[in-house]
Structure 1
Amino acid sequence: MSAASQATAGLTRSNKGLRRWLSARVPMTVSIVITLLVLAPLIWAISTALKSEVEAVAYPPAFWPSQITFENFARVLNGQNFLTELWNSVCYSFGGVFLSILVSAPAAYAAARFDIRGKTALLLLILGSSMIPTVALLVPIFGILEKFGMVNSALAIIVIEAARTAPQNIWFIRSFIEAVPKEIEEAAFIDGATRRQTFFTVVLPLIKPGLAATSILSLITVWNDYLTVAVFAPESSSRTLQVAIVNQVLDSNGISWSYMMAFVLVASAPVVTIFLASQRWFVSGLMAGGVKG
């Protein structure tokens, strides 16, 4: 083999090695960069919450506090209305999600299993209703609540939140039910089970991961809702953590950035904890919804 051939072969091997190295390193590097970009706001919020107010507004800003303080978190947790606001957030969110799933599951089953005339048009109408801006419905809904004396009513907020999330929940749960083979239900019918018994004892247990995923998505939506509570429950005894955060921004005394970041982190902690604890159900539910039976 000539010297030129050896050089060419060596260059080819070198190029192959470089391609293998790049194919292994580039995706990982891109993933790390994207992860850092996504986590950057969260890291900055944590850093700001651990700073004193003077250091939080200092220029040039420091990435990490020179002296870590938990005073802002203590102020949030010891706030006069914090427990009330937390309780309201929990009640509205879990109540709204429970009622939404309670209504959406039977409706989704009917949409998945019954041949109803105009079913496609009805499903599109349900989906389209979720696209109506909440702002467009504030005045008529407020008029209805005021007429029935339900302004500042927890039940009214729960019903409104359930109505907001029900359309998308019907579509999600319908896809999970369609992934269940019909033969399983037919076997239950042969054994003498009624349609209702089949729904509760066969279908619902099989779509538990899907129900969990749908519930988590709805919980995040309701938990982060500000407008509904701010308009329909304006009293301080009825407001949630999200309303309290916005009130902090609108405070005439100015914004305390370190305190507000601590408030945001504390308000986000419950729903983030629930999401992380049920992540296995969430992922398996989303995967199940993408498979047709």
Structure 2
Amino acid sequence: MKFRSTRNKILLYFGIAVFVFIILVPIYWLFLTALTPRTQLFSVPPNYFPDFTLQNFRNLIDQVPFLAYLTNSILFAFGAIILSVILSFLAAYGFARIEVPGSNFLLFALVLTMAIPEIVTVVPLFQVLRNLNMIDTIRGLVMVMGSVLVPFSVWVLVTFVKRVPVEMEEAAIVDGANLPQVLFYIVIPAMKPSLVTVTIINFINAWNNLLYPLVFSSSVRAKTLTVSITEIFQARTPYGRPWELISTLGVTMVVPMIILVFVAQRGIVSGLTSGSLD
């Protein structure tokens, strides 16, 4: 029995090591390429410890309006998560607390919209934004991305709203609290881990989104960092594509996500597991 337990632990740790290796090697290669001079990028045999340089970052800033795109990405991502989380929380609370005929069907239909490919909705969304004079604007991108994130957020949050005891809300109402006070002082604090998790997931989705900024923006005032990868591709090199600049852009996109997940990892784990046990 002891031998079997030791063998299972060894197999488990080996599987974890293989998984971590598969995950970390591409990230290591991404950073390595971003910090490697172009002349050493395709050396044979490969040089895993080249003369590191920051010239690739300077070249990236010179080739695209980096600061403008970065500002747009931040505004786009934060605007999308604020809009999506607020709307999703209110919708989830309504689905969880208001008993109306067909509410389950409406929730199912809302969740089912996640199965629709984003590319299918591009043309009608473009027409809507054009009619609202929101083409090539951050607010237009925020409205589109925020609405896209709502179904997933509602699906996640409605379960956690149902786990908040109704008696707590009723006691607060008896004491004279109104609905906004009940939501702000009782429901939201009780759902803090799940709200943090949904916020981070939505931020990652918005930060990495390429389709909507690419289609609905045409100038520097609305383009995001993800769009710049299409502009980098226009500059060919003797090695084909400018892989060092592409990797540099990848690093600038990945680093904020790594920092965010590292800082908020406890909140993410708590939000994902708080509803697993009663």
TM-score of the two chains, using structure 1 as the length reference: 0.87
CA RMSD of aligned residues (A): 1.9
- Aligned counterpart, 1:269: 255
Q: Helix, strand or coil: the match of 1:115?
A: coil
Picking from 247, 251, 254, the partner of 2:231 is: 247
The yes-or-no answer on 1:53 pairing with 2:38 is yes
CA distance in 1, matches of 2:159, 2:6: 41
Picking from 21, 44, 49, the partner of 1:65 is: 49
* Residues 193-204 of structure 1 aligned to structure 2 (within 5 Å): 193-204=177-188
CA distance in 2, matches of 1:204, 1:20: 43
- Aligned counterpart, 1:3: none
Give the superposition deviation at 1:36. 0.6
Amino acid at match of 1:145: L
Amino acid at match of 2:172: A
> Could you list the runs of 5+ residues in structure 1 that have no partner in the other structure?
1-15
Picking from 127, 130, 141, the partner of 2:114 is: 130
- Aligned counterpart, 2:15: 30
Q: Helix, strand or coil: the match of 1:76?
A: helix
Are the counterparts in 2 of residues 73 and 259 from structure 1 also a CA contact under 8 Å?
A: yes
Are the counterparts in 2 of residues 180 and 203 from structure 1 also a CA contact under 8 Å?
A: yes
CA distance in 1, matches of 2:225, 2:244: 17
Give the superposition deviation at 1:271. 2.6
* Cα 1:185/1:51, change in 2 over 3 Å: same
Question: Percent sequence identity over matched residues?
Answer: 29
Q: Helix, strand or coil: the match of 2:125?
A: helix
* Cα 1:291/1:79, change in 2 over 3 Å: farther
The yes-or-no answer on 1:148 pairing with 2:128 is no
- Aligned counterpart, 2:146: 162
The yes-or-no answer on 1:216 pairing with 2:192 is no
Give the superposition deviation at 1:44. 1.1
- Aligned counterpart, 2:72: 88
CA distance in 2, matches of 1:95, 1:17: 55
* Aligned residue pair count: 276
Higher mean C-alpha deviation, range 185-194 or range 168-177: 185-194
* Cα 1:150/1:23, change in 2 over 3 Å: closer
* Cα 1:246/1:23, change in 2 over 3 Å: same
The yes-or-no answer on 1:188 pairing with 2:172 is yes
Give the superposition deviation at 1:80. 5.0
TM-score of the two chains, using structure 2 as the length reference: 0.92
Larger radius of gyration: 1
